[in-house]
Structure 1
Amino acid sequence: MTAAPDPALPAPRDAVAHAVRADILAGRLAPGDRLRETDLAERFGVSRIPVREALSQLQNEGFVTLVRYRGATVSVPSGTAARELVQVRRGLEVLAAQLAARRRGGEVAAELARVVELGRDLSHSAAARAELPPLVLRFHELVAEASGNSQLRQLLEQLLGRVSWLFGKHLDARSEESWSDHAAIARAILSGSPVQAGFLMDEHIAKDEALLDELDD
């Protein structure tokens, strides 16, 4: 008799998608890299069916490009895709900041303050710039977590990873200004000012949109 699958374990498709997505976000897989089904099936010890399903899922998320008869490659980030995602992100993050302020940061208030302090310190050091992108992502994840809305948090978790990947290292160009924005947003959240927190987050993300316009010029 075949044992029933353990519901606590992710389905093979989800496990493959998670691992490949993580490799893309971390830069271990570069835009244009081939993703061969046979290689992935061997790597993860599964058949080609869950690999094919995982690649289809990643295509829907924008990380993979599938071409008939040619197979899968890591997608090349585009300015158009980045701009569209930032526009979607803007509304969700404004809401997250407002909800987080109503809860004054909730259970992650202390960590939010700590991340902002660390980010501001590192932004003044050219040698530490490589440490900033993960901190930027962590700041926005904490705002989503502080909102107390699990559905909003899940949506932003998926969105923020893609935005970070599409932007690459371009946000380094305004690192110090970015952390000043983060500090102001955090103060509004921790002081319980929803209107101000939402306004400041909206302004902050509007600068990301403007930066994308500059990069396309």
Structure 2
Amino acid sequence: MAFPDSRADDSPGAMVASGLREKILARELVPGERLIEESIAKRFGVSRVPVREALAQLESEGFVTIVRYRGATVSESLAKDSHELLQVRRGLEVLAAQLAAENRGGDAADELSAIARGQATDSPFHDLVAVASGNGHLREMVASINRRLSWGFGQNPEASFDDHAVLARAILGGAQVQAAFLMAEHLSRDEQYFADKWDTD
């Protein structure tokens, strides 16, 4: 799934954040490892201000832990926190799918129809389901969690396209139970993909 994020920003802080994030995801920087501002600044050829901005951004995403007077370290609970967020996401998105089916696609019916026919749309599928639910608070909660998970956690690229088409058809057909079941299965596969990728139980 795609979300607007700071990767579209070409500022020094965004560049540093992107570089550190990639190293953490590749496990070149390991949980608990200290992130020293001066060393990072030299590595990326920037001042310490963009480094602080990058570390603050990564802390908000759960990649980094910052403790006052002790500095920043790579988060030791990144995998666990992300796994728990995936579970919360599943509960919320199952509800969103059920409500979306009750509304037969609601305000997102046209775009969901395109997905059901196997066509691409400009809007991310899970955003469309949240819109289709008609519940603004639910939509905000789903968006908040998905922003935390937008760096590749739990997204199985091989399963998504076909899953989305089947889900869209269930939603448009008003099949609430089927839509909820399909969403749960879809996200459970994403969670398994995450577990295999990160070697979690």
TM range, normalised to the smaller chain? 0.5 to 0.7
Whether 1:210 and 2:192 are equivalent positions in the alignment is yes
CA RMSD of aligned residues (A): 3.7
1:64 to partner: Cα distance:
4.4
TM-score (normalised: structure 2): 0.66
What residue is the counterpart of 1:131 in the other structure? none
Which amino acid in 2 is paired with 1:39? V
Task: Report percent identity of matched pairs.
Answer: 47
**Aligned pair in 2 of structure 1 residues 74, 149: CA closer, same or farther (>3 Å)?**
farther
Hey, what's the Cα distance between the residues in 1 that align with 2:66 and 2:139?
Answer: 29
* 8 Å CA contact 1:25, 1:165 repeated in 2: no
Which amino acid in 2 is paired with 1:187? R
**Aligned pair in 2 of structure 1 residues 25, 206: CA closer, same or farther (>3 Å)?**
farther
Structure 1: give runs of 5+ residues left out of the alignment. 1-20, 41-47, 120-133
**Aligned pair in 2 of structure 1 residues 204, 115: CA closer, same or farther (>3 Å)?**
same
Deviation string, structure 1 residues 153-210 (Cα, Å, up to 9, x no partner): 0000011121222518x623xx2x3211111110010111111100100111111122
What residue is the counterpart of 1:171 in the other structure? 156
Whether 1:201 and 2:186 are equivalent positions in the alignment is no
Whether 1:23 and 2:6 are equivalent positions in the alignment is yes
Hey, what's the Cα distance between the residues in 2 that align with 1:165 and 1:25?
Answer: 13
* 8 Å CA contact 2:115, 2:168 repeated in 1: no
TM-score (normalised: structure 1): 0.62
Hey, what's the Cα distance between the residues in 1 that align with 2:138 and 2:64?
Answer: 25
1:148 to partner: Cα distance:
0.4
Structure 2: give runs of 5+ residues left out of the alignment. 25-34, 42-46
Hey, what's the Cα distance between the residues in 2 that align with 1:76 and 1:23?
Answer: 23
* 8 Å CA contact 1:99, 1:194 repeated in 2: yes
Aligned to 1:185, which of 150, 156, 167?
A: 167
1:118 to partner: Cα distance:
3.2
**Aligned pair in 2 of structure 1 residues 210, 38: CA closer, same or farther (>3 Å)?**
closer
Matches within 5 A, 1:139-150: 139-150=125-136
What residue is the counterpart of 1:84 in the other structure? 84
What residue is the counterpart of 2:44 in the other structure? none
What residue is the counterpart of 2:143 in the other structure? 157
**Aligned pair in 2 of structure 1 residues 25, 66: CA closer, same or farther (>3 Å)?**
farther
Whichever structure has more helix as a proportion of its residues is: 1
